[in-house]
């Protein structure tokens, strides 16, 4: 069956459909990771977006129940060069095609993703319509023009938990595993709990929760709309601000809550949490031309001079010129010089724009969770 991808500027790509049938509109973005498509599909940060993978062959190892970053996929559409129809992995439970059919998400293969990526890199992020229906290129383009994008959108309310809950109280989900025990049958023991933290769920990935527990944190997850007073009533040792989707400027309730928590508890934010912290400091964000999405983004630590290869997924960045004098930029992206980390010079608060939990991606930055523990210990 024919699939059509129409961008709002009139550029169209034709391919073959897989997954579900239908028409979906959202901002289109590209991800440069070679693996980890299941984690991409289930990452709540992709809410409202059509995702194109730049690696030419996707679906090789199928889908399994252990690599989910949330309970369901969040992308509106999935665009690839070539689909592996017969996956090969002892962990596979279904094919990528079957998975997208199950969740009613349309996919398109046979798309020249290299040309698509070059177009987005040159022209910038834009809205797109992915359809398997009998729409003309002109009709699909008009759907893209009229559809919603990301600017001004609060997708956090759609993905955040509605209730406060304790993550993995029985320690059945958080144990680290290796390839030898990849089926989950044998996991290494978890460390004793050192600190209790409250984690704001703006669209939190499960691997973040797993890694927090692996670092000795007891994690209480709270909804994105939770006030500072409600969080302080839990009496956590520290506050964690998670990743999430949409426009950080569209979350005034989150800005207020985090601002009110400043100086009361140590705070660590990543991705959207980092951007929300920027607003809480009194700063602002701006939209990147085409975003950072993939597992190979170089980031420089301005204090040590060391460079880490990081996993990233964001379309906005904190404006360094908007930050007050008592907030220091600690990390920058070597590709475009944008802010990748910051800290408050007077309060126990720091953040990074990228993903230390790296699912998928390298583990160069997992030490930030240890730094969070050290910060809490110093401020008890």
CA 276 – CA 253 distance, rounded (Å): 10
Concatenated DSSP letters of 12-42: EEEEEEEEB-SEEEEEEEEE--SS-HHHHHH
CA 360 to chain centre: 10
CA 85 – CA 175 distance, rounded (Å): 32
Angle of CA points 189, 231, 264, to nearest 5°:
95
* CA distance to 7, 256, 300, 301, 337, per residue, from 329 (Å): 36, 22, 11, 10, 11
CA 48 – CA 151 distance, rounded (Å): 11
* Continuous H helices in 29-108: 37-42, 96-102
* CA distance to 76, 249, 287, per residue, from 316 (Å): 20, 10, 4
CA 262 to chain centre: 24
Strands of the 285-301 sheet, one edge to the other: 165-166, 217-223, 195-201, 238-241, 267-270, 349-352, 339-344, 327-333, 285-301, 307-318
Name the catalytic one among 119, 274, 292, 355.
Answer: 355
The tokens for 88 are: 């090969």
Strands 285-301 and 267-270: unpaired
Strands 57-58 and 82-83: parallel
Name the catalytic one among 81, 271, 274, 292.
Answer: 271
Q: What is the CA radius of gyration of the chain?
A: 20
Catalytic (active site) residue 271: yes
Question: Do 247 and 153 touch, CB atoms closer than 8 A?
Answer: yes
The catalytic residues are: 271, 355, 357
């Amino acid at each position: 069956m024919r699939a059509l991808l129409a961008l709002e500027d009139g550029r169209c790509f034709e391919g073959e459909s897989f997954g579900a049938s239908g028409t979906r509109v959202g901002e289109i973005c590209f991800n440069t990771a070679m693996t980890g498509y299941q984690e991409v599909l289930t990452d709540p940060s992709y809410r409202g977006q059509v995702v194109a993978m730049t690696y030419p062959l996707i679906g090789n190892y199928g889908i399994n129940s252990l690599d989910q970053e949330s309970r369901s996929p969040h992308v509106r559409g999935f665009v690839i060069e070539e689909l592996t129809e017969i996956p090969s992995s002892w962990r596979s439970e279904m094919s990528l095609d079957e998975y997208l059919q199950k969740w009613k998400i349309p996919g398109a293969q046979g798309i020249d993703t290299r040309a698509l990526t070059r177009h987005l890199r040159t022209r910038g992020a834009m809205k797109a319509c992915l359809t398997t229906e009998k729409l003309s290129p002109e009709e699909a383009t008009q759907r893209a023009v009229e559809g919603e994008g990301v600017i001004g959108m609060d997708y956090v309310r759609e993905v955040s938990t509605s209730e406060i809950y304790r993550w993995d109280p029985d320690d059945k989900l958080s144990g680290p595993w290796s390839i030898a025990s990849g089926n989950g049958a044998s996991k290494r023991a978890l460390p004793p709990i050192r600190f209790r933290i409250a984690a704001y769920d703006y669209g939190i990935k499960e691997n973040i929760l797993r890694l927090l527990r692996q670092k000795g944190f007891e994690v209480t997850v709270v909804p994105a709309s939770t006030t500072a007073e409600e969080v302080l009533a839990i009496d956590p040792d520290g506050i964690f601000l998670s990743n999430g989707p949409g426009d950080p400027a569209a979350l005034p309730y989150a800005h207020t809550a985090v601002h009110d928590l400043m100086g009361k508890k140590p705070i660590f934010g990543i991705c959207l949490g980092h951007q929300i912290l920027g607003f809480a400091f009194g700063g602002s964000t701006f939209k990147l031309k085409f975003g950072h999405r993939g597992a190979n983004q170089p980031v420089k630590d301005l204090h040590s001079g060391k460079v880490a290869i990081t996993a990233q997924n964001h379309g906005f960045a904190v404006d360094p010129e908007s930050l007050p004098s008592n907030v220091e930029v600690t990390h920058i992206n070597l590709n475009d010089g944008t802010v990748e980390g910051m800290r408050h010079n007077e309060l126990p608060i720091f953040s990074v724009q990228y993903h230390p939990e790296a699912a998928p991606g390298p583990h160069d930055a997992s030490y930030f969770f240890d730094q969070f523990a050290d910060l809490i210990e110093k401020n008890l």
